[in-house]
Amino acid sequence: MNGGTRRGESQKFRDATPKGFASWQRASLQRTGGPARTYFALARAFFSAVVLARLFNRIADGLL
């Protein structure tokens, strides 16, 4: 293991040194917008699902 990338090896683990991991982590955070944006997207999706479920129940009650 000299830090090089073997064929078929994941790019995430291409460098086991802390510097390489820090650069990969920084790149992944820039790519995804950070963990806060991910959690916010999950919370927003959950909230919208709850709202849609309540709306659907209200419509179903009105039709029945």
pTM for the model stands at: 0.40
The confidence score (pLDDT) of residue 53 equals 95
**Does residue 17 contact residue 3 with C-beta atoms inside 8 Å?**
yes
Confidence (pLDDT) at 36: 76
What's the pLDDT at 45?
A: 93
- Render 1-64 in DSSP notation, one character per residue: --SPPPTT--GGGS--SHHHHHHHHHHHHHHHT-HHHHHHHHHHHHHHHHHHHHHHHHHHHHH-
Mean pLDDT by 10 residues, the chain (64 residues): 54 56 61 73 93 93 82
Residue 11 has a pLDDT of: 56
**pLDDT value, residue 48:** 95
Distance CA 19, CA 17 (A): 5
